[in-house]
Each structure stands twice: as structure tokens, then as C-alpha cells.
Amino acid sequence: MSDFSLESQEDGPVEDDAAAPADAPAQPYLVLARKYRPTRFSDLIGQDAMVKTLANAIEKDRIAHAFLMTGVRGVGKTSTARLIAKALNCIGPDGDGGPTIDPCGVCEPCRAITEGRFIDVVEMDAASHTGVDDMREIIDASRYAAVSARYKIYIIDEVHMLSKNAFNALLKTLEEPPAHVKFIMATTEVEKVPVTVLSRTQRFDLRRIPPELLFDHFKTIAATEGVDIEEAALKQIASAADGSVRDGLSLLDQAIAHGSGLVTAEAVRGMLGLADRARVRTLLGHILDGDAKAALDELNAQYVAGAAPDQTVEALLGQVHAITRMQLGADPDLTTGPEGRQKLSEWAEQVGPATLHRLWQLLLKGLEEVKRGTMPLETAEMAILRTIHAAQMPDPGALMKALDRASDSDAGPAPAADRAAPASVPTAMLSEDIAEREAGAAGPEGSETPARSPQIEGLPREFDQLLDFFVKADPRVEAWLHDEVGVVRYEGEDLVLSGREDRDLVGRMKTTLREQLGADLRIVFQDDPGAMSKKAREDARIAAERQRVMSDPNVKKLLDAFPDAELVGYELETENDGARDGEAPDDRQRTAL
């Protein structure tokens, strides 16, 4: 068909050499994700280990009968399956080639597979063909040789969607397929694939693509398409793609349409609904400075500008994480510019790790509340106010060091404790004379009860041994002796007790001793306020230790600084200093909270 010309009354005839034939159909627009789908292994980015393994397998003719591609969406699982099909069936431009890791792309099998019309490469979507009947069709068809290819290849996408019966039907053929058949499966949820299937395939885990590689890839595509786009915008798209090439290309497509000319970082930020990093750092600065009003004003200004509250809180978390990384010597993410790096570096030197951890936990909890709540802006405001309050709290370790220094410089005896002892423990039991009274009542070897005079054959010598005996013989008697009675005297066959008398338990105690030890024990009761039960003695000791801890100057200052705090636990350690040059050891007790 000959070219045609357009005539203008003013300029005369003008020939349009580039005009297409009048009856030529318009070519539909092809999205970037499909237009730049890899057509050879060299086009795959970030999957070098898999490509090397396949290249060695093809070169040494050690090609597996079944492959499984797994990874997140958009990293090239289905594209890799098609590339394997091309690599195994390529015959070269001259028609005499064999399997190769670098298919020619011009032979009939290569072109037909690329266009999706090759009869010996069957693609099946397991999401819509989940039943055992679909698997039966594949099994029956696999018995026949390929029509025109070297291998008949079945590509099963989203294989984890197959039913249990479908998997079971496929197992035998998958393990021992005919020599002319290859299976290539792809899935995003490999944990749902039965182990019996995994054991019959050669598995390749396709990795997420790093943002740096995505940025270079998108930059090349933008240059090829003739798109004027800022590098900062490309970095934002690469970061938002989250390791997926397809997601990133879809975002790039959208950004080109959204920009309608020059694609700026601000336009991409608005398209993605992201918070401005610079403004987020301003908000974080207000939080660290404790300026609540300025922080709420900045949060509301970002909300009016279009940033959702949950995205702002999430961006704050990202900045806290970046500061923590810089403290460890690692670089922040790709989208942080030089100015942002300088600010993060300053914070990394000024803010301690404990404060950063508190900020992270509080903001993370706030993010959950904002996403779950019905008033996101108000919830975000309250979360930031809570974070500001916590950020100003002193670090516990630094506070204790300051209290230690204050205690060392404080002269004079320590003041008495300001807080009362627990009401359940009598105050008299907290006095120092408890230890003296127990020491006076103790026997020659420091035991809690007097030593017995001549030992009666069969009876335990000490009261503690008597308790140990009843732990197994009669636990109820042992509990009564331990908790409710005190020993006045234990000599020979006489046991004098003070406390709650229980005739039934006394009778059981005598009967048990007679039957198991063959000995009689006379048990009498008399009132003696000084005869305390073992339980009361232990409670008094614990109460006295607690009182000693509460009297410690450091503890007092700490409780004064935090009036609502409670002492929930402590540990008393003994340090032995001295024992040098003949000196006696100096036993000191140190409070450890």
C-alpha cells in the first residue's frame, strides 16, 4: 500500500513518511510489568545462585525431572519457569542446538513459548484447577511424547492451592515421570505444599530483590521509556516495592501516569500516601525534646497534608530503627538523603539505647492502637503524648548510679524507713532483738531448737528431723507442727509445745511414731510467747530483711523519686572483705534490686 500525503492550503503538500497504514490496528498499551518480563536468564536480577545452579545442571546434563520455585510475589517464579522451558527446548537459530542456559530467543520453540502458544509447554493455574480430575488429565497426557519439542513441560502455578487428593494423585508421576516430561511448579506459600511433594522436587528459593538493585533496574527502564523522573522518586518506589519487581514496576507505571511529565518525589510520596521523611524527623525531634504542643501541631499538619496517622506513626518507627542501626555502624535505608543521615547520626550520638528501645515499644503499641481504633488521629495524638512522657523518664541504670554517688557523698547515719511494714506482720517481729532471742534459744551448734539430752532409741534427735520424718509419714501433722506450734522444749521422750492444740493431730502423731519407730513421745502444751513456730520465725526474718532494705538510703531516694513505685523483690548479698594480715572478715550486706 502506497504512502499518503496531507495537503495544507497555506503550506502546500506535506508528506508524512512516518504515518502508519490506514487499516493498521492500534497496538494496545502493554504495562511495564509485562513489557519488561525477563526473556533470558541474564534479565533476572538478584537470583544469581539459582541461575548458576541451573547453568551447571544443563552443562553437565544433570537436569532434574521436577522443579519447585518459591518466594514472595513478583520475584520471577513464573518467568523463571518459562525460561527453564525455553532453555530445555531451545534448538538454536540453525535448528541443531541443544539445552542451553542462554536460549537464542529466535527459534520456533523460544518464540512460541514466549508468546504462550507452544503446544508442548502446558501452563496450569492450580488456583482454578484444584481437583483430582485436573491432575488425572495431566497424568494421562504425560504418557504421550512431545509433539514437536524435546521435552513436554507442565508449569503448575500456585501449586499450594491443589487439594489433598490432587497432590496424592500427582505423587507417583511426579517421582517417576517419563523421560520426556518435566514438571515446574511455583508457589508463594511453600509451607502448604506437602512434604511428600517437596521431597520429589528440586527446590529453588527466589530471594527478595534488594532496594538498591530495584533502583538501578527501574532507572534503566525509565531511561528506556524516556521518562523524566527524580532519583528520590525512584528510591521511594524501590523501597515501597518491598523486594518485588512486579510490584515496583506497577508503582512505576502508576507514577508515570500520575506525574504526566516530570515525576517528582513529592508526587510519588502523595501517590503512595507516605509521610514526608523530613517532616517525620521534625516530629521525632519534638518528641525527643518533650515539646508536646509542637509535636501535636506537626502531627495535625501532616494529617491535613494527606498523611494517614498510622503511616506517620509507622514512619516514626522507621526513624527510630534507623537511629538504632546507625548506633551499630550500619547504614539507614535507601531513601534517606544526606541531610537525613546527618540528623540521624546526631541522634545516634545523643540518645541512649535504652531510650530508643522504650520509644520503639511505645510507638509499636501506639501503631497497633491506631490501626485498631475508630478515631485514628486522636489515638495517634494520645500515643505520641504517652511516648513524650516516657522519653523524658530517666534511665534506671543512670538513676541508680546517681543515687550511688549521692549515697557515697552523704554523711551521717541512714535515716529510719519512712514506710510502714506490712500490716500482716507484727512490728515487734521486725526488731533486731529477734536474732538475739533466737541465738539465746539455740543450742550449742546454733540450731533453732535446744539440743536433746540423752537420745531415746528410735526417736529423731532434733525437732527439724522430726518434721522431716512427718513429711512422708503424715504431711498434715508436719504442716501443723511447722505452721501453728512452737517448740518450748524437746528432751528425751518429752515434747513441750506452745500454740494451737489439736488433740486429733496429737493422737495421730503418737500413733505414727509408735507404729513406725516403736517409740512413745509425751506431748504437752503450755503458753510461751517466746516459742514461735518455724513459719512465724521465717516470716519475721523476711520482714526484718525487708525493713533493712527499706532503710537503705538508695532505696529511700528511689522511692521518693517515684512515689507510686513498690518494692517487689530484692536480694541480699554478703561481701567478705578483709581476712588479710590476720584481720577478721568484715561481713557486709548489700542491697541488690
Residue 433: the pLDDT is: 36
Percent of the chain with pLDDT strictly greater than 70 = 79
- Least confident piece of the model among 210-224, 246-260, 323-337: 323-337
Q: Between helices 376-391 and 353-372, what is the axis angle to 10°?
A: 160
Amino acid identity, residue 229? Answer: I
- DSSP β-bridge partners for residue 576: 587
d(Cα 249, Cα 219) in Å, to the nearest integer? 11
Rounded mean pLDDT of 377-381?
93
- Least confident piece of the model among 95-104, 138-147, 268-277, 578-587: 578-587
**Local confidence band at 473 (pLDDT 50, 70, 90 cut-offs):** confident
Residue 444 has pLDDT above 80, yes or no: no
**Local confidence band at 86 (pLDDT 50, 70, 90 cut-offs):** very high
Q: Which ranges of 95-131 would DSSP assign to H, the alpha helix?
A: 108-115
d(Cα 489, Cα 528) in Å, to the nearest integer? 11
State the Cα angle at 151 between 149 and 156, rounded to 5°: 115
State the Cα angle at 250 between 245 and 251, rounded to 5°: 100
| 440 or 136, which is more confident | 136
d(Cα 480, Cα 450) in Å, to the nearest integer? 20
Cβ pair 137, 97 in contact under 8 A: no
Residue 17: the pLDDT is: 44
Residue 203: the pLDDT is: 92
| 445 or 317, which is more confident | 317
The alpha-carbon radius of gyration of the chain (Å, integer) is: 41
pLDDT tens for residues 291-308? 899 999 999 998 888 788
- Least confident piece of the model among 23-32, 330-339, 453-462: 453-462
DSSP classification of residue 159: G
CA 36 from chain centre, in angstroms, equals 35
Full strand arrangement of the beta sheet holding 494-499: 485-491, 494-499, 522-525
Q: Which ranges of 373-449 would DSSP assign to H, the alpha helix?
A: 376-391, 396-409, 433-441
Residue 432 has pLDDT above 70, yes or no: no
d(Cα 142, Cα 151) in Å, to the nearest integer? 11
**Contacts within 8 Å (CB) and 24+ apart, 338-343:** 339/278, 340/277, 340/278, 340/281, 343/281
Rounded mean pLDDT of 577-585?
44
Rounded mean pLDDT of 41-65?
89
d(Cα 81, Cα 59) in Å, to the nearest integer? 18
Which residues lie closer than 8 Å to 520 by C-beta, 6 or more apart? Answer: 493, 510, 513, 514
Half-sphere exposure of 590 toward its Cβ, with a 13 Å CA cutoff? 9
**Local confidence band at 25 (pLDDT 50, 70, 90 cut-offs):** low
What is the maximum span of the chain, computed from C-alpha positions, in angstroms?
A: 142
Residue 584: the pLDDT is: 44
State the Cα angle at 547 between 543 and 551, rounded to 5°: 170
| 478 or 459, which is more confident | 478
Residue 458 has pLDDT above 90, yes or no: no
**Local confidence band at 380 (pLDDT 50, 70, 90 cut-offs):** very high
Cβ pair 155, 82 in contact under 8 A: yes
Structural domains of the chain, ranges and CATH numbers in brackets:
32-205 (3.40.50.300), 211-272 (1.10.8.60), 277-391 (1.20.272.10), 427-537 (no CATH)
Dihedral angle computed from the Cα positions of residues 516, 520, 526 and 529, in that order, rounded to the nearest 10 degrees:
-40
Cβ pair 208, 74 in contact under 8 A: no
Where are the extended beta strands (E) located within 501-540? 522-525
Q: Is 56 exposed, middle or buried (0-12, 13-18, 19+ CB in 10 A)?
A: exposed
Residue 573: the pLDDT is: 62
| 413 or 195, which is more confident | 195
Closest CA to 542 of 404, 421, 459: 421
- Least confident piece of the model among 191-195, 507-511, 526-530: 526-530
Residue 277: the pLDDT is: 76
- Terminus-to-terminus CA distance in the chain, angstroms? 95
Residue 360: how many CB atoms within 10 A of its CB?
17
Summary mean pLDDT of the chain: 79
Residue 582: the pLDDT is: 45
The grid cell for 40 is 533470558
- DSSP β-bridge partners for residue 592: 571
Residue 385: the pLDDT is: 92
Amino acid identity, residue 291? Answer: D
Q: Is 199 exposed, middle or buried (0-12, 13-18, 19+ CB in 10 A)?
A: exposed
Q: How far is CA 375 from CA 267, 361, 446, in A?
A: 27, 21, 68
H or E element that contains 574: strand 571-577
Residue 479 has pLDDT above 60, yes or no: yes
- Least confident piece of the model among 315-319, 409-413, 465-469: 409-413
Residue 181: the pLDDT is: 93
d(Cα 272, Cα 267) in Å, to the nearest integer? 9
Residue 425: how many CB atoms within 10 A of its CB?
17
Cβ pair 159, 185 in contact under 8 A: yes
| 443 or 90, which is more confident | 90
d(Cα 190, Cα 520) in Å, to the nearest integer? 75
Rounded mean pLDDT of 37-53?
88
